[in-house]
Amino acid sequence: MIQFQIDEVRIPSTLDAADAADFTASIGVAGDVVAGITGHREFVWTAAEELPEWQNPLEPKRLWVARLDGRVVARAVYRPLPTEGTRTAEMEIDVLAEHRRLGIGSALLHAMLAAAGDDGRTVLQTWALHPLPSGPVLPSPTGFGTVPADSDATLFLLAQGFQLGQVIRISRLALPVDAAERDARLVEASAAAGSEYRLVRWVGATPPEWRADMTRLRQRMSTDAPTGDMDAEEDEWSVERLLAFDAAVQQSPRVTLTVVAEHAASGTLAGFTELSVPAELDRPVDQGDTLVLREHRGHRLGMWMKAANLRFLDQTHPGHPAIVTGNAEENRPMLNVNEALGFMPVAVEAAWQKTLRDA
């Protein structure tokens, strides 16, 4: 019988610290798993990019690794939603392909279930990346999108009692885009928005004058974005949490570009979009969150902000090969924006959920 060891990992203060090896190895495992699924490393972040997020005290996460013959071959991430009184925890399990079907994933899941039970969480959610389906598929309960029915992740999660809740389209925009076409989209969207709105942009942390509004926008991401059949609880944000989030952004080697739409009459923000830019020019940019508040939809603010951020990227950090993003398959308005800008589907991500009281 194969013998493996499961250990919880202490998050290091720096990557040079004596206890950093397991954390770094866990990030390497996750990257290798993603590369094995997609055939490339465009979606992979480095340990230096990941560490600041792990050190955020207001968004705690726990990490376990599995060792086989002393080598880290799998990891599990556990994150309870930080809002007091919520029932939900999120998790991720990554096992190197050559070490699957040995009971390692099940053992790591057992640790996640125990942690959720200790925290009083009754809903466990996870997301799994897949290539575009080319064989048998499992349809989303929303009626939009499918995932491969016979992939390792699908078979494992179904066997463990998880249910598919949503399918997310992963898309890629090759850079550089045609500047004239991008600016035409920008002008059209600006005309649709009219004088009711104006755009503001910044690099890095949120300026003090926009902190309260950005706190509200980030909280609304948990209620205004499509969630399919997943249990969705409001994720509370405070200015203190925003400051901790921004501190992690500032400590990362990546640079964040943000464009927001201000509603002129009220002086409050109606939406935002952000791009996360790696330091290396040969790596793609990540499209982070984009949100237009429900009460401000119908003015083409999504297109306006995204086209403006594409121009902001070209002005400040040109030379990257692509932008990658993910959107719920049922989110047709945002998919329309992305498709008009030139994004093409390259992969899918499945959202899964397990109700623990039924375990």
Model pLDDT for residues 281-298, shown as the tens digit of each residue:
999 999 999 999 999 999
pLDDT-based confidence at 166, cuts 50/70/90?
Answer: very high
* Mean pLDDT of the residues in the chain: 96
Return the DSSP state at 318.
T
Return the DSSP state at 264.
T
3-state SS, residue 204: coil
CATH of domain 4-170+351-358: 3.40.630.30
pLDDT-based confidence at 2, cuts 50/70/90?
Answer: confident
Give the span between the Cα atoms of 50 and 35, in whole angstroms: 17
- What are the structure tokens assigned to 325, written together? 């993003």
Global pTM? 0.95
The pLDDT of residue 65 is: 98
175-181: long-range contacts at Cβ-Cβ below 8 A with a sequence spacing of 24 or more? Answer: 175/285, 175/320, 175/321, 175/322, 175/323, 176/314, 176/318, 177/310, 177/314, 177/341, 177/342, 179/311, 179/314
**Residue matched to tokens 């179904």:** 158
**For the chain, counts of helices (H) and of strands (E):** 9, 14
Residue 73 pLDDT greater than 60, yes or no:
yes
pLDDT-based confidence at 78, cuts 50/70/90?
Answer: very high
Q: Domain 176-320 in CATH: superfamily?
A: Gcn5-related N-acetyltransferase (GNAT) (3.40.630.30)
**Residue matched to tokens 């237009």:** 292
Domain ranges of the chain: 4-170+351-358, 176-320
Beta strands in 69-189 (DSSP E): 71-80, 88-95, 123-131, 137-139, 146-148, 163-174
> Judging by DSSP bridges, how do beta strands 88-95 and 123-131 pair with one another?
parallel
Residue 351 pLDDT greater than 70, yes or no:
yes
Average pLDDT over residues 173-189: 97
The pLDDT of residue 358 is: 47
Q: Calculate the CA dihedral of residues 336, 337, 339, 344 and round it to 10 degrees.
A: -120
Q: What percent of the chain lies above the pLDDT cut of 90?
A: 97
The pLDDT of residue 1 is: 62
What pLDDT digit, counting tens, does each position of 134-163 carry? Answer: 999 999 999 999 999 999 999 999 999 999
